[in-house]
Amino acid sequence: MAVHQFDAVIVGAGGAGLMAALQASQSARIAVLSKLYPTRSHTGTAQGGIGAALGNLETDTWEWHMFDTVKGGDYLVDQDAAEIMCREAVDTVYELEHMGLPFSRTPDGKIAQRPFGGHTKEFGKAPVRRSCYAADRTGHMILQTLYQQCIKQGVTFFDEYHVVDLLTRDGAACGVVAVEIATGDLHVFHAKAVLFATGGCGRMYKITSNALTLTGDGMAVVGRRGIPLEDMEFFQFHPTGIYKMGILITEGARGEGGILRNGKGERFMEKYTPTLKDLAPRDMVSRAIFREVREGRGIDGKDYVHLDLTHLDPKVIREKLPDITDFVETYLGIDPSRAPIPIQPTAHYAMGGIPTNARAEVVADEKNTVFPGLYAAGECACVSVHGANRLGTNSLVDIIVFGRRGGKQVGEFVKKASFTPLPEKPLEQTEARFAALKREGGGESVFEIRKDLQEEMMDKASVFRTEPDLTKMLQIIGDLKSRYSKIHVKDRGTGYNMELLEAFELGCLLDLAQATVTSALARQESRGAHYREDFPKRDDANWLKHTLAKINGQRVTLSYKPVSITKFQPQERKY
Amino acid sequence: MEVTFQLLRFDPLKDRQPHWETYRVELEPTDRVLDGLEAIKGQMDGTLAYRRSCAHGVCGSDAMIINGRNRLACKALVKNMKEPIRIEPMRGFKVLKDFVVDMGPFFEKYRAVKPYLIEKEARPQKERLQSQEERERFDDTTKCILCGACTTSCPSFWFNAGYVGPAAIVQAHRFIFDSRDGGAEERLSVLNNQEGVWRCRTVFNCVEACPRGINVTRAIGEVKKVIAKGGR
Ligand SMILES: Cc1cc2nc3c(=O)[nH]c(=O)nc-3n(C[C@H](O)[C@H](O)[C@H](O)COP(=O)(O)OP(=O)(O)OC[C@H]3O[C@@H](n4cnc5c(N)ncnc54)[C@H](O)[C@@H]3O)c2cc1C
Ligand code: SF4
Ligand code: FES
């Protein structure tokens, strides 16, 4: 067993992890652990942009941005945190530009901005140009730029180290266990502080925009150590995924003027959200598509609709949406300036995750008690700035703002803190887990269980939910878990034993699906992305609160905590 | 439809030499080659190893030789491939297992060209201004996803592993032609030597290999010109 010691370890090298690393490494000895080479992280796939009220093309203010964020999140947003995010967004975007991010530019050389779903001026009056972008590869440029800065700053990376456990002692974090993928060796990282930035868990669904590696490892690892996961029932379905594949077509396509049409060729969003139409928030557009399909108005009666860009200037499509043009050509053989794109809602973003405060410190109970030495930022965390439904461009803001805050906080913390000793047997849990996966005689396979989980979650716990479906889903998860205990990993090798690591990832997905469905079943109302057909109204009297789902072995137990409301009182959400 | 794959398998713990194995899997014509690999690994042989993540051509994990050409497995559709679909690891790097190669040397060269903005002047309060034309000047090379397909398709690199390689030059180009950057000279000193741009013999393999459609040879040519002129 190799033991390394650092002031802090950061798990994950996407936007959140790298931003935290840039901050923390200024004053502390840190290591960044990532199961992927940093530049492979899923931040690199973000297309549309990062929201900040720069006001480069028209008047804009952070208050309007905050209002949109709160309303978009169906008032489940913690408003103190949203205020911080929307204020700091402006400076953070300038900081990214200073680091070299090649933003697209306005004619007078400023950072270009475009409209995006749910972003408005004057508290909801009309769409506003707030999304700062670099063509349709904003995330790619963010990831590259941050990695470049890390190289410049000499940040220490452990690439292709897969973290499988969090180590705690006496109620404080003291490190992690990681598998060195190239050799299969287990490493213990002893640290005063651990920051998780491991991204989302979209792979619990069949149709998803998320990478094959987005399996929620960080959330599961932390959850298994007794820290409850917050608001897991809120999972965002993005309206425009390429039919059957789930690959994302950015909302920027609608920002540039794209229109959704049903099988009759109608612009159906006019009916549902007359003011913002196609640029309404994602939860609403996704539900509208499901409704159209259900009522027989899908294309040829099937389960998809069209995203129509054919009326746009082909030059706009080529210059502002080059990557999605390439995806559509590659995977569908379609030229988007000539033919409409078949799309369906795709599992996109986990609003829930590891609960934190606005300093990215993990808070472990209903009273927001800080868990010493433990931090989280980015999609794996729940601050909560997205509430029940995230607005487009707000995740990139989140990862940068709270990645930076987390990094700073870690830097401060390790100056004063001392090392908590490692537990007596730091590898105990990991070894037991892997031994079970390698045990002979089971005969179940990762592939089959994962496929069943993804299909069933898509069917029973996606855009529309009901009590019978969710109850059934819990049973199914129970069955899948007992099948999981009979998994037999055949690869006996050590280096690049991807079968073993995928089995580990599947275990994470199963735990997270259980937390998601348990939370969804309990919440008897509809809010943001969580839509219960049997409770179609939002119910502030009973449900204006955050869910906390604690994973106890095979069971998940729930508790709740209040929402922070500062500037904006809950109102009905109309667009 | 049933699709036949031939994979060049190699596990350093078991095999002295790489060897071909044949697999047949059920796939849709619109499936990616990556879907084929996932099916083989999931249903037939879990020991198969390769890297992948995004599955739509933007993370740069899964460059490999597919039917003789460097491509991303997630961007090659089964219906466009001749059968059997033959897959080998990228050429020129040490093979660690099956299609997983050691990317260490690749990233070392990337780091050597100082792939970060070297700021000319103090940071203003807001953004630095850059005209649309200035921004356009280096747009092509900002697309690079560091997949390695160009470098490992280059004969100059096969014969001389010391060559900094097209990918690193693309990265240097991205900064040298950025109006905000002041580090051209530092970078050019790395590129203007035996292992630098002059190894490029304009074979154009890299252009054909690049899954992002970057005109790699043109970028290298532009860097050569800057060196010849002694600065941008
Ligand atoms: C297709 C797509 C388009 C999007 N477009 C936009 C957009 O336009 N605007 C916007 O605001 N948001 C967008 N989003 C959302 C946003 O991109 C993500 O939420 C955000 O980038 C997540 O960043 P992150 O740093 O939290 O995680 P990621 O970038 O996903 O990084 C996770 C990191 O954790 C590492 N990791 C994970 N598990 C482990 C483990 N067990 N051990 C070690 N390392 C581990 C990974 O290697 C990786 O480095 C988009 C998302 C998708 C999928
Ligand atoms: S230039 Fe193209 S082929 Fe070369 S590393 Fe970059 S993306 Fe890959
Ligand atoms: S898996 Fe990301 S490029 Fe192919």
* Tokens linked to A182: 């190239």
Distance between alpha carbon A2 and the CA centroid of its chain, in Å?
Answer: 32
Residue at token pair 């995330």: A139
* Closest CB from B49, B142, B143 relative to A498: B49
Q: Is B215 exposed, middle or buried, given 0-12, 13-18 or 19+ CB atoms closer than 10 A?
A: middle
A41/B59 Cβ within 8 A: yes
What is the C-alpha radius of gyration for chain B, rounded to an integer number of angstroms? 20
Peptide bond before residue B89 is cis, with ω within 30 degrees of 0: no
User: Are A236 and A227 in contact, with CB atoms under 8 Å apart?
Assistant: no
- Give the start-end residues of each E strand in A59-121: 113-121
- Which has the closest alpha carbon to A159: B111, B141, B114? B111
State the amino acid at position B38 in one-letter form: E
Query: ∠ CA B126-B130-B135 to the nearest 5 degrees?
Result: 135
- Which has the closest alpha carbon to B98: B231, B26, B168, B6? B6
- Which has the closest alpha carbon to A44: A210, A203, A227, A201? A210
Query: ∠ CA A91-A29-A20 to the nearest 5 degrees?
Result: 25
* Tokens linked to B121: 């002047």
d(CA A416, CA A344): 51
**Could you read off the pLDDT of B130-189 as tens digits, one per residue?**
999 999 999 999 999 999 999 999 999 999 999 999 999 999 999 999 999 999 888 988
Specify the 3-state DSSP secondary structure of A273.
coil
d(CA A92, CA B69): 42
For chains A and B, what is the number of CB pairs under 8 angstroms?
154
* Closest CB from B75, B115, B181 relative to A151: B115
- Which has the closest alpha carbon to A197: A415, A426, A398? A398
All domains of chain B, ordered by start, with CATH? 2-101 (3.10.20.30), 104-228 (1.10.1060.10)
Q: Does residue B100 have its Cβ closer than 6 Å to ligand 3?
A: no
**Count of residues making up chain B:** 232
d(CA A288, CA A300): 17
A326/B145 Cβ within 8 A: no
Q: For chain A, which ranges sit under pLDDT 70?
A: none
Specify the 3-state DSSP secondary structure of A414.
helix
Q: Is A192 exposed, middle or buried, given 0-12, 13-18 or 19+ CB atoms closer than 10 A?
A: buried
Label residue B18 by pLDDT band (50, 70, 90): very high
| B112–chain A Cβ distance below 8 A for any pair | no
Set of chain B residues whose Cβ sits within 8 Å of the Cβ of A154: none
* Tokens linked to A151: 């190289």
d(CA B228, CA B188): 10
Q: Is A455 exposed, middle or buried, given 0-12, 13-18 or 19+ CB atoms closer than 10 A?
A: middle
* Closest CB from A98, A148, A211 relative to B55: A211
| B69–chain A Cβ distance below 8 A for any pair | no
CA distances from residue B9 to A570, B42, B48, B95 in whole angstroms, order as listed? 60, 16, 8, 10
- Which has the closest alpha carbon to B217: B175, B170, B147, B185? B170
Residue nearest to atom 5 of ligand 1 (CA): A46
The minimum CA-CA distance between A484 and chain B, rounded to whole Å, is 15
A498: number of Cβ within 10 Å: 24
Q: Note which residues in 155-194 of chain A have CB less than 8 A from chain B.
A: 182
Label residue B232 by pLDDT band (50, 70, 90): low
Residue A526: per-residue pLDDT: 97
Q: State yes or no: pLDDT of B230 exceeds 80.
A: no
Query: ∠ CA B140-B141-B144 to the nearest 5 degrees?
Result: 115
User: Ligand 1 test: best mutation among A195, A396, A500, A508, most atoms within 8 Å of CB?
Assistant: A396
* Tokens linked to B12: 């350093």
Nearest-atom index, ligand 1, CA of A396? 11
Query: ∠ CA A225-A382-A77 to the nearest 5 degrees?
Result: 145
DSSP labels for A390-402?
PPTTHHHHHHHHH
* Tokens linked to A159: 């690439």
Residue A507: per-residue pLDDT: 98
**Could you read off the pLDDT of A242-263 as tens digits, one per residue?**
999 999 999 889 988 999 999 9
B97/A493 Cβ within 8 A: yes
A247/B56 Cβ within 8 A: yes
